[in-house]
Amino acid sequence: MANLTISVSDDLKKRMAQLDYVNWSSVIRSLIEKKLEDFALVERLAKKSRLGEKDLDAIMKRVKHDYGKEGKRLLNEVNR
């Protein structure tokens, strides 16, 4: 298994240390896996979509969803 090093603020490190029973490596690994699944789904949807950037902007205004900016970035990548 490969190793990955991340940087966190001193405050975050202190807060993590207070929960010494938590396997932070496992937590981060699970979060990365979930995020990769989310990105893969967005990419699959973007590739099948006939929506353009204006359509996505209109949807983003209505939905105000956190993934809106990421969806726009992925749509731009797919359309290159």
Amino acid in position 39: F
Per-residue tens of pLDDT for the chain, all 80 residues: 899 999 999 999 999 999 999 999 999 999 999 889 988 887 887 777 777 778 777 776 666 655 556 666 666 665 65
Q: Are 47 and 19 in contact (CB under 8 A)?
A: no
Q: Which residue is it, tokens 């699944």?
A: 37
Alpha-carbon 33 to chain mean position: 10
pTM of the model: 0.59
